[in-house]
Amino acid sequence: MNISIMLKPASSNCNLRCKYCFYNSLSSQREMPSHGLMSEQTLRATLKKAFDFAGNDRVMLSFQGGEPLLA
């Protein structure tokens, strides 16, 4: 069995400024800029649960929203 997980949104940080992206305008209006950025604690807890659930099976992660490499 394979476990597929999409983490959405991974962050609201992005430097691409795509014209079709609705998320960029929303992130600039946040009262707390850190909302929209996944904490390391949340990421670690999510990964632990996924790997515990999968056992010896494959876990595939997809990060969507913002530019995950900037997070």
User: Domain map of the chain by residue range?
Assistant: 2-70
Work out the average pLDDT over 67-71.
Answer: 61
The pTM of the whole model exceeds 0.85: no
Secondary structure tally for the chain: helices H, strands E: 2, 2
Q: Counting every residue, how long is the chain?
A: 71
pLDDT tens track for 9-54: 666 667 777 777 776 666 667 666 655 677 889 889 988 999 999 9
Q: Which residue has the tokens 């069995």?
A: 1
CA–CA dist 25, 12 (Å, integer): 10
Instruction: Supply the pLDDT for residue 52.
Output: 93
